[in-house]
Amino acid sequence: MRYGPLLFLGILFTLASSWVGLVLMPNRQLGSLVANSSTNATGAIVLYPQARSGEAQQGAEHYRSLGCIYCHSQQIRPDGFGSDIARGWGKRRTVARDYVYDKPVMLGTSRTGPDLTNIGERQSDYAWHYAHLYDPQITSKGSLMPPYPFLFQKRKMGQGGPSPDALKLAGEFSVGEGWEVVPKPAARQLVEYLRSLKTSFDLPEAPLPKAAEVTDAQPPAK
Amino acid sequence: MSSPSKTFSALMPGDLPEDSSKRALLAEIDASCRVPVLFFVVSGLLWLLAGTALALVTSIKLHSPGFLASWEFLTFGRVRPAHLNTVIYGFASQTGIGVTLWLMCRLCRVPFVAPGLATVAALFWNIGLTVGVVGILMGDSTSIEWLEMPRYATPILFVSYALVAVWAVITFRLRQERQLYVSQWYLLAALLWFPWLYATAQIMLLIDPARGVVQAAVNWWFAHNVLGLWFTPIGLAAIYYFIPKVIGRPIHSYYLSVLGFWSLALFYNWNGLHHLTGGPMPAWMITVSIVASVMMLIPVTTVAINHHLTMWGHFEKLRHSPTLRFVVLGAVCYTATSLQGVANSFRGISEVVHFTHHTIAHAHLGLYGFFTMVMFGSLYYIVPRITQREWPSLGLISIHFWGCFLGLVLYVAPLSLGGILQGLAMNDASVPFMKVVEGTLPWLQIRTLAGLLLALGHVAFVANLVWLLARVFGPYRKPVVAILTGIETPAIAGK
Amino acid sequence: MSADFPNLNPGGGTSGMDRGEATDVTAMHAAIVRERPDPVEGHEPLNLWVVVFIAGLLFWAGSYLTQYSGGFRSDEFSEAQINPAPPPVEAGGGADDPAAKAAKEGAIVFSTYCAACHQADGNGVAGQFPPLAGSEWVLADGPNRMVRIVLNGLKGPIKVKGGDYNNQMNAFRDSMDDRQIANVLTYVRNSWGNKASPVTAAEVVAIRTAEAARTGEWTAEELEKIPASGGAAEPAAVGTLTPEALKEALKKLSPDDLKALLQDVSK
């Protein structure tokens, strides 16, 4: 090739094609999606999804800062494509509208740990989350998740005994007589964020599946 | 000028005495490249060492999560992106730019224009990168893959890149050689594509974030294109230059070069969304990316034919030329990783390997097996010419090559297999998740071993380079011609 | 030896221009001098098979795009044409015998929702989450208390196997359907050395209906007032069951379940 201008134009138009096709077109199709509004049984209007509360949004910032996406995904694949739904990670696949209020969108690309799209439905217990974050080996022995002791504070117990939100640590995890471990605000916010992760709501483009026929299970042989 | 010795005559078949003026020009070009190219190359290799250290820490943490776990700045979710950004923007991009600058000068037959400008660019790049990586470790990671450096680091990198881009356009305008060799097409394309990608990503993801999953689309359009439109063209440009240069034969086919370049330019940039197969994106976006990924077979096969048929029948030259060894290894890995990538993009296969360690193995086959090996090979050729000094130690070259080659094989093969097994287990809902996790442990441990081999190779290379640079300040010594010809040198005076 | 290799510094000494610079310029530029000429492109013609290959790929691309693009719509996410819609989730899939299927589903539901706290071995976590293996609450005659706990959760102090626990278990009434609750409780009551009667979906339906108006978690105290087995249709003292609420709840049942419920009530 000799012609600089020809080369330059070719370079320009080839990238421009996907810039239009994979950046501008998706933005046009999905960039103004809003929450879906529906009426529930009592006639109230329900919006899904909803923007997160302040604490939960703060928690999303901690999720981002600590890099949770490198082990946890937040997307449910369709039924029959992988085992996401069969494992109970979600009742339906996730679609674009599930993420309209997420900044940044943290879909993740790795499942060293389980998917967290609906962790708020599976696990809403504060104590479990604090224990799991403080040292995952407490609740999930053999897990490859690192401990996050810096989200907690080890301090001397007050006169009246342990604080209400102190972690209940026993055995090899206990911190000695007269000491307690309490979550810092960052831990609490992160847990609020995790508790807010729920997508089992109907959407026109992704309805929840009807519950399967309720049939009696045969009793197993005694 | 004394007449060339018999040894040198043996190395220059077909070279006539009048070629000496061309040689003088090349020598002048190389000398003018010395400071800016060395600055980029040396910075790049120092970041390689940092990135390798971060890689080892990350790898160990993945199978031993308690390792160094009490420090917030070393938590896995931060060292992993720190490793990624260090190696892609610190090492790969800077050595890539260094090689690009030298290749552009050589191919345009223009001595380095305004070397001060490029040196300042290198300085800014390093400052920006340091600010960015420290920012990630301190908690400001954006959690956008391949774009984790916080917003405050980007303007510094932008200034640096603008200087490089301006330099490239000027050099191209001043070129003496009217015919454009294939490497120049790739290099120009890379230099023009990269700022567009980076600016789009910065604007639509950080400055004025798009809504919802549009961010994911932009993220993966960007990330895949950094690989396909920035690193791949630089790597291919280097392979296209060094294989025919070292063995002294022309590239197999000009027509294949043209076909390969334009099909890459057309199809590669549409691939990005195959990272989101099964995800919350409309079906058409995924389908379009899968089609583009399969169409990549066109550039990959044409480039493979061009490279491998040029090499055919000359494999014995691999023994004496470290440049050729690394560059040919890189070319083979390019073909391998591209074929693996095409396979991975099919929905049926993505169903198994998505979200597993297989993807990580694939990424390393591409960026390390292809790009890094080609960069190493290029540096073995370029550095002696711009410093007018030879590599001091053949032993260190061997350690470098074998450490990297064995480390690469030990990394990619087991982890690819382990990832497939992980995916199959994960897709069986009756296998408890913890069992899936336990199954990955041996593969992750092997990966750390591989990492140690790679680290050994890198340390050997940097040691050799430092030794060579130390000699720049010393008296000139005779070249170690054994590297190219296999002929033993006589004892070197004063060594 | 010297014929092969020029003396790079004849007469010794330096030219003084650059430190250590030898006077033989060619020798100094040895690395460049021993280079081969710059590469050029050969002109092998394009192989016909390459053209055929490309044509084949283009044909495939066109047909794949036509079939699987969902009309390029923004709301069409379905992979349906590639993976035809599967039957509704059968977590116990792969087993033919309904009993085995139920057991398999019970294990998966347990692993998804319960194992995180109660652990895969059913032993819980000391001081935090009570064990299920050998627990007197699990091994009670009937499932009345267990089903209520799973539906609405549990809070406050509770004694299990002599140990004190005071935590909060979340409600699963919306996360699990009646069949899943029945299967997971059957699994729990028959694992890790536990041996107890299975729980049927009809029993779960009955209890869910009876407690339709209940909000908030149970406490151990309240549960102890409810008999472990026997007619499940007695609502707890807390909360009232209006005829309208009962009607609404009954409407949700399938005809078979309604029949089973009426049979249960009329015992």
Q: Where are the domains of chain C?
A: 1-86, 98-265
For position C43, what pLDDT does the model report?
86
For strands C163-169 and A36-39, give the pairing.
unpaired
Closest-CA residue to C114 (of C185, C220, C214): C185
Among the residue ranges B59-63, B142-146, C110-114, C230-234, the one predicted with the least confidence is: C230-234
Pairwise CB contact (< 8 Å): C57 & B297:
yes
Pairwise CB contact (< 8 Å): B211 & A31:
yes
Contact list in B for residue A83 (CB cut-off 8 A) is 426-429
For position B488, what pLDDT does the model report?
41
Of all residues in chain B, the one with the smallest CA distance to C35 is B12
Residues of chain C with pLDDT under 70: 1-34, 79-96, 231-242, 267
Residue identified by tokens 């699987």 is C68
Torsion of CA B256, B262, B265, B266, to 10 degrees: -120
Domains contained in chain A, number: 1
Q: Does the structure show a pLDDT above 50 at A31? A: yes
Which of C1, C41, C68 lies closest to B283 in CB terms? C68
For position C254, what pLDDT does the model report?
79
Pairwise CB contact (< 8 Å): C40 & B384:
no
For position B494, what pLDDT does the model report?
28
Interface check A77 vs B, CB under 8 A? yes
Residue A45 domain flag: no
Cβ contact B314:B364 at 8 Å: no
Contact list in A for residue C113 (CB cut-off 8 A) is 88, 122
The total number of residues shown for chain B amounts to 495
Cβ contact B392:B468 at 8 Å: yes
Of all residues in chain C, the one with the smallest CA distance to B280 is C77
CB contacts < 8 Å between A and C, how many?
A: 138
Pairwise CB contact (< 8 Å): B283 & C77:
yes
For strands C154-160 and C218-219, give the pairing.
parallel
Residue type, B63: H
Q: Does the structure show a pLDDT above 50 at B13? A: no
Residue A62 domain flag: yes
Q: Does the structure show a pLDDT above 70 at B478? A: no
For position C231, what pLDDT does the model report?
63
Interface check C102 vs A, CB under 8 A? yes
**Mean pLDDT of the residues in chain A:** 89
Which of B14, B473, B476 lies closest to C22 in CB terms? B476
Contact list in A for residue B360 (CB cut-off 8 A) is 110
Which of B14, B27, B291 lies closest to C65 in CB terms? B291
pLDDT tens string A86-96:
999 999 999 99
Which of B76, B209, B270 lies closest to A67 in CB terms? B76
**Mean pLDDT of the residues in chain B:** 90
Contact list in A for residue C209 (CB cut-off 8 A) is none
Q: Does the structure show a pLDDT above 80 at B65? A: yes
CATH number at residue A180: 1.10.760.10
Confidence class of residue B473 from pLDDT cuts 50, 70 and 90? Answer: confident
Closest-CA residue to B193 (of B145, B149, B231): B231
Interface check C154 vs A, CB under 8 A? no
Domain boundaries, chain B: 23-179, 246-486
For position B64, what pLDDT does the model report?
95
Which of A86, A127, A215 lies closest to C168 in CB terms? A127
pLDDT tens string B319-375:
888 999 999 999 999 999 999 999 999 999 999 999 999 999 999 999 999 999 999
Smallest Cα distance from A163 to chain B, Å: 23
Best residue in C14, C33, C79 for a mutation probing chain B (most B CBs within 10 Å):
C33
Cβ contact A45:B296 at 8 Å: no
Contact list in A for residue B142 (CB cut-off 8 A) is 64, 104
Residue A204 domain flag: no
Q: Strand ranges (DSSP E) for B198-355?
A: none
Question: Between A165 and B416, whose confidence is greater?
Answer: B416
Interface check C194 vs A, CB under 8 A? no
* Residue A199 Cα to chain centre, angstroms: 10
Confidence class of residue B482 from pLDDT cuts 50, 70 and 90? Answer: very low
Among the residue ranges A114-118, A169-173, B393-397, the one predicted with the least confidence is: A169-173
Q: Does the structure show a pLDDT above 60 at B312? A: yes
- Give domain B23-179's CATH number out of 1.10.3910, 3.30.1640, 1.20.1250, 1.20.120: 1.20.120
Residue A31 domain flag: no
Q: Does the structure show a pLDDT above 80 at A73? A: yes
For position C32, what pLDDT does the model report?
65
- Give domain B246-486's CATH number out of 1.20.210.10, 2.60.120.10, 1.10.3980.10, 3.90.730.10: 1.20.210.10
Parent domain of A94: 54-195
Closest-CA residue to B105 (of B31, B193, B182): B31
Residue A169 domain flag: yes
Smallest Cα distance from C49 to chain A, Å: 24
> What is the arithmetic mean of pLDDT over B416-420?
97
CA distance linking residue B333 with residue B376, whole number of Å: 14
For position C140, what pLDDT does the model report?
87
Q: Does the structure show a pLDDT above 70 at B269? A: yes
Interface check C99 vs B, CB under 8 A? no
The total number of residues shown for chain C amounts to 267
The three-state secondary structure class of B193 is helix
- Give domain C98-265's CATH number out of 3.30.70.920, 1.20.59.10, 3.40.50.10800, 1.10.760.10: 1.10.760.10
Query: DSSP secondary-structure letter at B381?
Result: H
Contact list in A for residue C116 (CB cut-off 8 A) is 122-123, 128, 132, 139-140
For position C26, what pLDDT does the model report?
56
CA distance linking residue B209 with residue B197, whole number of Å: 15
Alpha helix ranges (H) inside A53-179: 54-65, 119-122, 126-134, 136-139
Which of C91, C125, C201 lies closest to A139 in CB terms? C125
Q: Exposed e or buried b for every residue in B483-493, given b needs 16+ CB within 10 A?
A: bbeeeebeeee
Residue A166 domain flag: yes
